[in-house]
Each structure stands twice: as C-alpha cells, then as structure tokens.
C-alpha cells in the first residue's frame, strides 16, 4: 500500500512568524543600505570607478621621505604629553563621579539619574567638536587640546568604572557599615580594594584611546601631530605624510605594548 505511506516532509526549523520577521528586517536593512549608499555616492560601482585614483594616490605616498622624521618628533612628544596629562587628570576627576553614577553606592534615585544623564550627554560629543569649542575659548595651543581630552576621557572612564562598581560584592561594605564605619571608610576599605585593579587597567585603556584621539586634535589647532599631517597634505607632500603616519603607527604599537606590560606589573 504505497498510498498509505505518505512522504514525510520535515517542517521548517523556525516557525513562520520568526521567518517573516527575519525576512522583513533583512529587507529593511538592505533597503536602508541601498538608499544610504546611493545618497552618499558610495555605491559599489562607484568604488570600482574610483579604485584607480586610490591606487594612484597610494603610489604617490612612496618612497617614504625619512629626512622629514626629524620634524615629527617634537610634535609627536607633544601629543604623548597631552595624552598623559589628560588621562591623569581625568582619572582623578572621574573617581567621585563614578561613585555618584553607581546605583549601589548612590542610593538617591534623583542624584543618580541626573548624574547619569549628564554623563550620557558628555559621551555623545565627539572629541574634535570638544576641541573646536575649547580652541575657541582658550585660543590655539596644547591647553585646549588637553581640556578636550579630559572631558572626553571622563565620559568613557566614568561609564566603565561605574559599571565595575555596580558589580562588586556588597557584603564587605555592609559588614563595615554594621560595625560602625562611616561612608568614607566604607568606600576606602570595601569598595576600593575590589575595584582598584580594574581602575588601573581602565585608566591605561583610556590612555591608549587618548593617544589615538590626540593625534587628530591638531587638525583644529589643538596641538599635537595632527597639525603636521594636515599641513603636509595641503602642500601635497605625500612622502612626508607617509613618514608621519608610519611613525605614529610605530609609536602607537610601542605604547600599547608598554601599557600592556605596566598593566601586568601593577594589577
């Protein structure tokens, strides 16, 4: 009886509703991509049309002009100094703020929410825009760059640190409170020992971010090596640009290595 034995067709792995949602979102994602790639003139065809220009330009960056290297060091050290100072100051400033934005330390809901709101706003402002504003206020130089980096770093650092503080074990601080410790003692003896390793590691991480950020602040007149890149590009002096870029690359790699080792040594 072959008719009785109907062919078994396995059902799809996913229910129909999920499939529909997935298809719809895929269409939306691709549709938005089409719209945006056409309006920004970056449709794939465009890429193949311009690829000649790009390879042509890359050719002009070589050979690297090493005689320019001497002019780079001074500005590059300025960049590193900016990053070091701003990271240090930002770390110190962010300590009280991250205690205020941790929900288990700051139990006052209004204070906690308003602090969170302010820091969320600070984090949305890009570093270069901050630099533009501070250059307008203080004039061209290293100082506005440092201030911009401090504000920028506080945004990141407070977010990372407050999340660490929120995840700590609260039993030690309860024990200290129960035996009569005040708020400062609780923070010092119960919170600090638990978060200090992450604190150091996040500061070094922010330092690496700051090095990268301070490279570009010079574009708007806030000191550092970015100014040099901009001027050399404007002079169409491409071999010099590739010297600067290669030196920056090497220095960033070395700094990442050193800060990794420091993290190991300290934590």
Instruction: Give yes or no for a contact between 148 and 127, defined as CB atoms under 8 angstroms apart.
Output: yes
Which of these ranges, 40-48, 91-99, 160-168, 184-192, lies near another protein under the rule CB under 8 A? 40-48
Binding mask 218-257 vs another protein (x if CB under 8 A, - otherwise)? -xx--------xx--x----x--x---x--xx--xx----
Instruction: Answer yes or no whether residue 113 interacts with another protein by CB under 8 A.
Output: no
- Is 128 among the residues that bind another protein (CB under 8 A)? yes
Task: Write b or e for each residue in 182-215: b if 16 or more Cβ atoms lie within 10 A of its Cβ, otherwise e.
Answer: eeeebbeebbeebbeebbbbbbbbbbbbbbebbb
| Cis, bond preceding 162 (omega within 30 deg of 0) | no
**Which residues in 64-103 contact another protein (CB under 8 A)?**
77-78, 80-82, 84-85, 88
124 near another protein, judged by CB under 8 A: yes
Which of 153, 213, 222, 240: binder of another protein (CB under 8 A)? Answer: 213
Q: At what angle do helices 226-234 and 69-100 cross, to 10 degrees?
A: 130
Q: How far is CA 244 from CA 184, 187, 215, 231, in A?
A: 48, 46, 11, 12
Kindly list the residues in this chain that would bind another protein in the complex (CB under 8 A).
29, 32-33, 35-37, 39-42, 46-47, 50, 53-54, 56-58, 77-78, 80-82, 84-85, 88, 120-121, 124-129, 132-133, 136-139, 141-143, 146, 212-213, 215-216, 219-220, 229-230, 233, 238, 241, 245, 248-249, 252-253, 258, 261-262, 264-266
């Amino acid at each position: 009886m072959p008719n009785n034995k109907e062919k078994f067709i396995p059902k799809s792995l996913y229910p129909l509703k999920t499939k529909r949602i997935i298809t719809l979102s895929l269409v939306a994602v691709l549709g938005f991509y089409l719209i945006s790639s056409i309006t920004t003139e970056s449709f794939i065809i465009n890429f193949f049309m311009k690829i000649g220009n790009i390879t042509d330009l890359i050719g002009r960056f070589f050979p690297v002009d090493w005689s320019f290297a001497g002019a780079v060091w001074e500005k590059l050290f300025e960049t590193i100094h900016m990053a070091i100072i701003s990271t240090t100051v930002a770390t110190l400033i962010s300590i009280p703020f991250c205690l205020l934005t941790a929900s288990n330390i700051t139990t006052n809901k209004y204070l906690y929410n308003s602090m969170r709101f302010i820091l969320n706003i600070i984090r949305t402002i890009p570093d270069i825009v901050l630099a533009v504003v501070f250059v307008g206020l203080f004039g061209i130089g290293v100082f506005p760059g440092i201030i911009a980096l401090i504000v920028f770093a506080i945004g990141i650092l407070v977010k990372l640190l407050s999340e660490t503080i929120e995840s700590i074990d609260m039993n030690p601080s309860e024990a200290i409170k129960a035996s009569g410790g005040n708020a400062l003692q609780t923070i010092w003896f119960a919170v600090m020992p638990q978060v200090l390793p992450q604190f150091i590691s996040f500061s070094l991480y922010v330092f690496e971010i700051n090095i990268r950020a301070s490279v570009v602040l010079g574009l708007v007149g806030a000191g550092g090596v970015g100014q040099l890149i901009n001027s050399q590009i404007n002079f169409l002096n491409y071999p010099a640009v590739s010297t600067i870029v290669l030196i920056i690359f090497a220095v960033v790699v070395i700094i990442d290595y050193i800060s990794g080792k420091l993290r190991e040594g300290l934590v």
